Amino acid sequence: MSDSFDVIVVGSGPGGYVCAIRAAQLGLKVACVEKRGTLGGTCLNIGCIPSKALLQSSEEFEKAKHALKDHGVLIDGLELDLARMQARKSEVVAANTKGVEFLFRKNKVAWLKGTGRITAPGTVDVDGKAYAAKSIVIATGSESVPLPGVVVDEKQIVTSTGALELDKVPGHLVVIGGGVIGLELGSVWRRLGADVTVVEFLDRIVPGMDNEIAGAFQRILQKQGLRFRLGMKVTSASVAENGVRLVVEPAAGGAEETISADIVLVSIGRRPYTSGLGLEDVGVALDDRGRVKVDAHYETNVPGIYAIGDVIAGPMLAHKGEDEGVAVAEILAGQTGHVNYNAIPGVVYTWPEVASVGQTEEELKAGGIAYTVGKFPFSANGRARAMGDIDGFVKILADKTTDRLLGAHVIGPDAGTLIAELTTAIEFGASAEDVARICHAHPTLSEAVKEAALAVEGRALHI
């Protein structure tokens, strides 16, 4: 293999592998360094894909157990085969990671297997062998944030990685952190039979999500059986053979108490991962949160070294990293790559799903922007009724003067798919009226989007 490339990407997550493929499409000679045994990064191996596989399987189980009766479908002798469910998840992961290998071969991207270290601008060492590149792209991703006093063993005290691998349904699962990953994995194990308690430091779940949506989300999850201990902090955890003893106390101060758990999931966030990459030696600057600092073209303070994905600022989302990967590849090929950070959707894959794009009501208020709200509940949508999925609503925020869409938030069935239309609308600078005038097929869940857009002007038809 040649030792010299136009671009070397370090890390093969959704940021890195997409960047490598796009750069190769544009005629550049590309290599991607990956130390894991398989390609695809956190997302394909221990993140988005395995979690969605288990969310899907556990949702099927829950439907078979509870919801199908209502449809007149009766199942006798329903059982959970957790080993099969986990094996299926691994098959899904393998199909996806092998898919990236295939795409690398198809696009002639060289996979440099091993740990990459940037030894100088234009030089990457991979397990002792030096490679030259005109440009280097750092795409080394993120890792779970540890919690002081709580030592992860990935058996009884786990991160999301261990929570995806449990071979037994825990009697009591305590999730530390009421963010997206904790709520998704908490939902998986609750559906499979665990009692789940979520301990959250703040007095609300999913910080950053529109308040009204977050409140509705919490109520729905509670109805499903999740317990919430908000405004509480975990100060220590001790492991014994029969479980974990957590010490918690009110975040605002007060008497401590103990909670017993079979398994504890620590999911208080993720932090950028740059360990062993040699950034201090080449002088690449980090910000106060350990993220690689980049300019508007994703270039670091060291010319020729770029960074994308979870390792830089912005939402830690696979599709955000992918879009940055495309943008930087196009910039390196002399084009004008660009990412519109106002139009990056975020989805929580519980059921119902929660999806958002653009600004929240709180952000608009803080920015002093006058806005109008249009809302429409799924309980008034024919398709949602036919499905038996009437929890939730669509909420659209539009500029009070221009009617331009500023934000959209959906809690309800298939919200993650419904948000695509509203993301497109925001990307194209559409108004709420534009969305309201589009013909939406009947009966579909997307009619709730149209109705919410109509509601911005106070003229929803079906409520």
166 is in an annotated binding site: no
319 is in an annotated binding site: yes
The nearest distance, CB 219 to ligand FAD, in angstroms, is: 23
The nearest distance, CB 371 to ligand FAD, in angstroms, is: 27
158 is in an annotated binding site: no
Residue 442 annotated in active site: yes
The single residue listed with the structure tokens 């370090």 is 10
The nearest distance, CB 170 to ligand FAD, in angstroms, is: 17
297 is in an annotated binding site: no
392 is in an annotated binding site: no
Angle at 262 between CA 260 and CA 273, to 5 degrees: 105
299 is in an annotated binding site: no
The single residue listed with the structure tokens 């993220």 is 291
Catalytic residue among 66, 71, 442, 462: 442
Compare residues 14 and 374 and give the one whose CB is closer to ligand FAD: 14
CA distance 126 to 277: 10
The nearest distance, CB 319 to ligand FAD, in angstroms, is: 5
Mention every residue, 6+ apart, whose C-beta is less than 8 A from residue 240.
none
Compare residues 161 and 444 and give the one whose CB is closer to ligand FAD: 161
Q: Is 314 exposed, middle or buried (0-12, 13-18, 19+ CB in 10 A)?
A: middle
> Hey, which residues does 124 pair with through a beta bridge?
118, 131
Burial 42-81 (b: 16+ CB within 10 A, else e): bbbbbbbbbbebbbbbbbebbbeeeebeeeeeeeeeeebe
CA distance 422 to 376: 14
Cβ atoms of residues 309 and 141 within 8 Å = yes
181 is in an annotated binding site: yes
- Residue 60 structure tokens: 């099927």
Compare residues 170 and 309 and give the one whose CB is closer to ligand FAD: 309
Cβ atoms of residues 109 and 24 within 8 Å = yes
SS3 content of the chain, % helix, strand, coil (to 5): 35, 25, 35
Compare residues 114 and 250 and give the one whose CB is closer to ligand FAD: 114
DSSP code of residue 66? I
The nearest distance, CB 321 to ligand FAD, in angstroms, is: 4
Residues that bind ligand FAD (CB under 6 A): 10-16, 33-36, 41-43, 47-48, 51, 115-116, 139-142, 160, 181, 273, 276-277, 309-311, 316-319, 321, 349
Compare residues 11 and 413 and give the one whose CB is closer to ligand FAD: 11
Residues contributing to the annotated binding site for FAD: 52, 116, 140-142, 310, 316-319
Residues at the annotated binding site?
52, 116, 140-142, 177-184, 200, 269, 310, 316-319
Write out the binding residues for NAD(+): 177-184, 200, 269
Q: Which residues are catalytic?
A: 442
